[in-house]
Structure 1
Amino acid sequence: MDLRLKGRTALVTGASKGIGLAVVQTLAAEGVRVAGVARSAVPGAALSITADLSGPEGPAAAVARAREELGGIDILVNNVGGVRSGIAHGESFADLTDEHWQQALDLNLFSAVRTTRAALPALLEARGVIINVSSIGARFAHPPVEYGAAKAALTNLSKALSEELGPQGVRVVTVSPGPTLTENWKGADSMAADLAREAGVSHAEFLAELPRRMGIATRRLAEPAETAALIAFLASPHAANITGADYFVDGGVIKTV
C-alpha cells in the first residue's frame, strides 16, 4: 500500500534506538523527511538533532532546529520515554521519592507536552497529526507505578488534545506498545536481565517464558517494526478520520473490552 507520505516532514523523539529508530526508518522508506531527536545520533534521519527532552529547554530547541532546516512539521511522533534504571526488585510505592516521580513525569509526560506545544503552530498550519507513544502500562496495574501513572496521563492528554485540535484539522492518536524486543527487554543491562538473574535463570529463558506469564496471546514479544508500521499508517491520509483513539500493540495482553 502506498501510504501517500512522500514529501512530508516528521519530527520523531527518542529516535536513536528501539521503536523510535524503527519509526524513523519506516517513515524515511515512505519518502518522509525525518528529523530524529535523541541524546545520541539518529542513523537514517534526514536531520539528526541531539537534545535532552526531559528538561524544559530541549523540546523547544529541537523543534526550532527542525523547522529551520526542514521547514514545516506535518507529523509529530512523541516516542521518547522509558523506565528509570536501577529499579530494585520488589520496590514499592513507599520507596518512591519525589525525585523518582519527577523523573518519570519529565521523561514520559512533560517531554511530549513541551514538544507538542513548541510544534503546534507548524502542525496547525499543516493540518498535521500527533502520535503519542504511550504504553499498556497506562492500563496495566504493574510496577513501576510512577511509569504507568505518567503514561496514563499521556494517554489522557492525547484524548483531550484530539477534542481540542480536531476542529482545527489536527489529529491526535495514541499507540500503546506492550513488551517489545528492544534493548529495554533484551539488553544485557535491562530490567529483564536483572529479573532473570534474581530468578536464577538465563536471560533467554526468562524472555522465552515471559509471554506465557504475561498472558500474551500470540506467545511472543512484538518487534519494533510492527509498532512503526502502525504509526506510519496512522500518520498517513488513509487514517484521515481517525483521531482520539488508543491502539495496543501488545499481543493481546490487555483483555478488557
Structure 2
Amino acid sequence: MWLWLLVLLGFYILYRWYQDRQVLENLTDKYVFITGCDSGFGNLLARQLDGRGLQVLAACLTQRGAEQLKEATSQRLQTIIVDVTDTESVSAAANWVKQQVRDQGLWGLVNNAGTGIPGAPNEWLTKDDFVKVLDVNLVGMIDVTLCLLPLIRKAKGRIVNVSSIVGRITFCGGGYCISKYGIEAFSDSLRRELNPFGVKVIILEPGFFKTELNNLQHMKTTLYNIWSQVPAAVQESYGQKYYEDYVKHTEKTFLTLCNSDLSPVSDCMEHALTAVHPHTRYSAGWDAKLFYIPLSYLPTVLADFLLTWPLPKPVEYR
C-alpha cells in the first residue's frame, strides 16, 4: 500500500516537473506590459524578458529610470512614464499599449509597481498615510488592470499581480499589508471571472528582498518623521524607548531577512508569462516557503504569539 503511494507520488512529481518545463512557442511575438520598472523586480524582469526576445513595454515612474533601462536593453524594449495613481496617466498608457500591440492584443500584464512607505504602528498614522500606500499598491493596480483588460482578453493572455507573504499574514501596521490582502482578493475574483475567456490570473507572493521598497535609511527617516508628529498623549502611552526599540527591530529584521538576489522573484514572473502551464500562485524566497506561508496556516493565537514576542513593549504594558 505505502509502496504504491510512493510510486504514485513519484509519478506526480515527475509529471509536474515535466509540465513546469514546457515553454510557449512564438515568444518573440508576445507583448508584455510591466509597471514599476525603474528598479527592483520590474527592472530585472524587463531585462530578462528582453533577453528572451519578448516585446517588452516597460512603465517607469521617472524619466531617469526609463533612460537607464533603455541603456541596458535592446531596441525592442519600449518605455513609457506612468503614474499608476493618476487615472489620466493610466488611460494614456493603455492607449499607447493599444497602438503597440494593435490587433494582436496584450499577452502579459505584470502589476509590479508598489510602495511600502509610510508604514508604522497603526495608531501613529493618519488616514492620508494609509491612502498613499493603497493608491499605489491596490487602487492603481486595479485601474491599470481594468484599462488593459480588453487587450488581455483579446490575446487570451495572463495577468501577474505582485502580492506578498504579508497578503497571507500581517506583521506590521500601515497600508502595505492591507493593500496586499486586497490584491489577493481582487486577483481571486478576477481569476474566476476571466477563466471562461482563457485568461490566467497569477499571484506572486515574495518574501523579504532588498529593493528600493525596503530602503532602510528611507524607512528610518520616515519612522522618525511619523513619530515626531504623533500626539503627545500617544507618545506617552508607547514611550520613547518603544520607538527606539521599534526602529532597531525594523533595522534588524531587514538586515537579517532581506535577500539581495532578486532573481527568484523575476524567475517566477518569467515562468508565469512563458510556461505552458503556469502556477496560480508563486512563493519566492525561503523565508516565504519555510516560515511565513506555513505560519499563515497555524491557529491565530499561535501565529500572534510568534509574530509579537520579539516586538518592543509599550510603557503601559510594562
The offset of 1:70, in angstroms, is 4.0
Give the alignment's TM-score, normalised by structure 2. 0.67
Q: Distance in 1 between matches of 2:216 and 2:131?
A: 27
Q: Indicate the SS of the match to 1:223.
A: coil
Partner residue in 2 for 1:127: 156
> RMSD value over aligned CA atoms?
2.7
Q: Distance in 2 between matches of 1:113 and 1:184?
A: 20
1:57-68 equivalent positions in 2, closer than 5 A:
57-68=88-99
- Residue-pair matches, total: 238
User: Is 2:37 the counterpart of 1:21?
Assistant: no
Q: Is the 8 A contact 1:192 1:206 kept in 2?
A: no
Partner residue in 2 for 1:78: 111
Partner of residue 291 from structure 2, selected from 244, 250, 253: 253
Q: Indicate the SS of the match to 2:83.
A: coil
Partner residue in 1 for 2:191: 162
CA-to-partner distance for each residue in 1:1-40, whole Å, 9 max, x for gaps? 6843222100000011001101111111121111111212
Q: Is the 8 A contact 2:32 2:108 kept in 1?
A: yes
Q: Please, which moves more after superposition, 41-50 or 7-16?
A: 41-50
The offset of 1:104, in angstroms, is 1.6
Q: Distance in 2 between matches of 1:15 and 1:63?
A: 16
1:75-114 equivalent positions in 2, closer than 5 A:
75-85=108-118, 87=119, 91-114=120-143
Q: Is the 8 A contact 1:222 1:250 kept in 2?
A: no
Q: Is the 8 A contact 1:178 1:248 kept in 2?
A: yes
Q: Is the 8 A contact 2:160 2:202 kept in 1?
A: yes
User: Is 2:69 the counterpart of 1:48?
Assistant: no
Q: Is the 8 A contact 1:155 1:246 kept in 2?
A: no
Q: Distance in 1 between matches of 2:139 and 2:48?
A: 26
Q: Distance in 1 between matches of 2:252 and 2:207?
A: 19
The offset of 1:223, in angstroms, is 2.2
Q: Please, which moves more after superposition, 104-113 or 141-150?
A: 141-150
Q: Distance in 2 between matches of 1:35 and 1:59?
A: 14
1:102-251 equivalent positions in 2, closer than 5 A:
102-185=131-214, 187=215, 189-191=217-219, 208=255, 210-211=256-257, 221=259, 223-239=261-277, 242=279, 245-251=280-286
Q: Indicate the SS of the match to 2:86.
A: coil
Q: Indicate the SS of the match to 2:59.
A: strand
The offset of 1:148, in angstroms, is 0.3
Q: Is the 8 A contact 1:12 1:78 kept in 2?
A: yes
Q: Indicate the SS of the match to 2:291.
A: coil
Q: Indicate the SS of the match to 1:113.
A: helix
Given residue 59 of structure 1, which amino acid in structure 2 is its aligned partner? V
* 193 and 25 in structure 1: CA distance in 2 versus 1, 3 angstrom threshold: farther
CA-to-partner distance for each residue in 1:208-228, whole Å, 9 max, x for gaps? 5x23xxxxxxxx626222111
The offset of 1:136, in angstroms, is 1.2
Partner residue in 2 for 1:217: none
Q: Distance in 2 between matches of 1:135 and 1:222?
A: 16
The offset of 1:140, in angstroms, is 2.5
The offset of 1:193, in angstroms, is 8.6
Structure index of larger Rg: 2
* 204 and 189 in structure 1: CA distance in 2 versus 1, 3 angstrom threshold: closer
The offset of 1:51, in angstroms, is 1.6
Give the alignment's TM-score, normalised by structure 1. 0.82
Q: Distance in 2 between matches of 1:205 and 1:104?
A: 23
1:28-39 equivalent positions in 2, closer than 5 A:
28-39=50-61
Given residue 80 of structure 1, which amino acid in structure 2 is its aligned partner? A
Q: Distance in 1 between matches of 2:252 and 2:188?
A: 39
The offset of 1:95, in angstroms, is 2.5
Given residue 132 of structure 2, which amino acid in structure 1 is its aligned partner? Q
* 121 and 96 in structure 1: CA distance in 2 versus 1, 3 angstrom threshold: same
Q: Which runs of 5+ in 2 are unaligned?
A: 1-20, 224-243, 298-318
The offset of 1:61, in angstroms, is 1.4
